Amino acid sequence: MQYRIDPISENKLSILGFGCMRFPRSRGQIDIVKTEELIIGAVEHGINYFDTAYIYGGCEEALGEIIHKNEIRDQIYLATKLPLGKCQSPEDFDTLFNEQLDRLHTDHFDYYLMHNLSDTKLWKRLCDMGIESWLSTKKDIGQIRQIGFSFHGAQKEFMALLDLYDWDFCQIQYNYINTEYQAGAAGLKRAADKGLPVIIMEPLLGGSLANSLPQKAQKIFRNANHSCSPAEWAFRWLWNQPEITVVLSGMNAAAQLEENLKIASCAVPNMLTEAETAVFQLVVEAFNNSYKIPCTGCNYCMPCPHKVNIPGCFAAYNMSYAVGRFSGFNQYMTSTGATDPSKNYAASQCRKCGKCEKHCPQQIPIIQSLQSVKKRMEPFWYKPMVSMFIKIRERKSKNA
């Protein structure tokens, strides 16, 4: 494992951090056994930065249980986030914070973030409630060691936020596709110039840069280096930049952990050759021509009041461009429950209530995008085709 120094705290942080949002699940519940194997394996191989959040659906509790059971708290740097949407009064700060301490079986957080601090207006609202004084107190008594924020918003807002508080670190979405998106490359450089350690989230754009990369883009990578996977290309691009301190990966399988550890073991700043750097521009062009909706599958938009599987619809839509229409339709039928008459999670179920758009960190115009999905993925022959498929399946079931 390679490490980089947090210039403010002088903590020695593993360049590969464990993003604790996508723990393995079984029947909708976190598989604690598999998750424990991953966490312990990560620690044993040198990963020491673990990032979770209050709203990550049971992930704080699972991580806390594993840390406590295995007595590894003093071996890791623990990061979690204050859910700003739940902070409606000054009293909420302590209520939520104390709950997080209990969930994670700890008496302090090494890194504590304002979750999804998207603009200066939101920060002003928090300041009006006394957040600065509250944070100062928590830091003075040692319950918070480093104070930062995770960001999803416009670049100009990120630049302004950097100057509104004496932050100890920041966390941004960044990958070779998103160099001009949200904080972007300019935001990364500005934060580093201010001496802040920068934590990277969504390095694979919700897996799109690893498992769902367009075929043309995959071919470009293979021609450049047939032994290097798309995920390895993406991680090496990030670790090539000295401004980056930690790259988070939401690993939920042993194979992912093994591959990422291997990549991280030899990743150093400025390791890419000029020829390798040029490859990324070709891949970006191929990706942008195929991927139409920048959804990372974070599920912040869910649940939909009308049961639309929003991330599933977008993934299938993108798949239809990146891989082919047949593959896209196949994925769409599966993710929208088309093969089960009792279910309907399709884009056509959208009633344009707008609840989803308020929670999307990517600021996707979800309602408009679902209309595009409906137009492409549910043509006039779609419902008759699904009905025929269901009848064939029922007939086979009866004859079995």
Query: Angle at which helices 215-224 and 274-290 pack, to 10 degrees?
Result: 170
- Point out which residues pair with 390 in neighbouring strands: none
Residue 94 shares a structural domain with residue 156: yes
Give the pLDDT of residue 4. Answer: 96
Least confident of 115-119, 304-308, 394-398: 394-398
Query: Tell me: the pLDDT tens digits for 53-85?
Result: 988 888 999 999 999 999 999 999 999 999 998
C-alpha 191/C-alpha 169 separation (Å) is 8
259: in domain: yes
Least confident of 210-224, 237-251, 338-352: 338-352
* Portion of the chain with pLDDT greater than 90, in percent: 52
Query: Tell me: the pLDDT tens digits for 358-394?
Result: 888 878 889 988 898 888 888 887 777 777 766 765 6
Q: Up-side HSE of residue 156: CA atoms within 13 Å toward CB?
A: 1
**And the tokens for 28?**
């909708």
Burial code (b: 16+ CB inside 10 Å, e: under 16) for 356-392 equals: bbeebbbebebeebbebbbebbbeeebeeebeeeeee
302: in domain: no
Contact 64, 91 (CB under 8 A): no
389: in domain: yes
Residue 326 shares a structural domain with residue 229: no
Contact 100, 131 (CB under 8 A): no
393: in domain: yes
**Cβ-count burial of 8 within 10 angstroms (0-12 exposed, 13-18 middle, 19+ buried)?**
middle
The separation between the first and the last C-alpha atoms of the chain, rounded to the nearest angstrom, is: 54
Residue 100 shares a structural domain with residue 192: yes
Residue 358 shares a structural domain with residue 285: no
CATH assignment at residue 143: 3.20.20.100
Burial code (b: 16+ CB inside 10 Å, e: under 16) for 155-177 equals: bebbeebbeebebbbbbbbbbbb
Q: CA-based angle 344:349:352, to the nearest 5?
A: 155
Query: Tell me: the pLDDT tens digits for 289-298?
Result: 777 787 877 7
341: in domain: yes
If one counts every other C-beta atom within 10 angstroms of the C-beta of residue 38, the result is 23
Query: Angle at which helices 366-377 and 325-335 pack, to 10 degrees?
Result: 120
Contact 377, 338 (CB under 8 A): no
Specify the number of domains making up the chain.
2
Residue 235 shares a structural domain with residue 336: no
pLDDT exceeds cutoff 70 at 27: yes
C-alpha 239/C-alpha 230 separation (Å) is 15
What predicted TM-score, i.e. pTM, was given to this entire model?
A: 0.78
C-alpha 279/C-alpha 312 separation (Å) is 30
Domain containing 258: what range?
3-289
Give the pLDDT of residue 145. Answer: 96
266: in domain: yes
Residue 336 shares a structural domain with residue 250: no
C-alpha 318/C-alpha 250 separation (Å) is 21
229: alpha, beta or left? (left if phi > 0; alpha if psi -120 to 50): beta
C-alpha 141/C-alpha 145 separation (Å) is 9
pLDDT exceeds cutoff 70 at 113: yes
Residue 126 shares a structural domain with residue 264: yes
185: in domain: yes
Give the pLDDT of residue 317. Answer: 83
Helix, coil or strand: residue 174: coil
- Point out which residues pair with 170 in neighbouring strands: 149, 198
Residue 249 shares a structural domain with residue 345: no
Residue 342 shares a structural domain with residue 376: yes
157: in domain: yes
Query: Taking the alpha carbons of 119, 202, 115, 299 in that order, is the dihedral positive or negative?
Result: positive
Residue 264 shares a structural domain with residue 389: no
Least confident of 108-112, 227-231, 324-328: 324-328
Residue 254 shares a structural domain with residue 331: no
Give the pLDDT of residue 109. Answer: 97
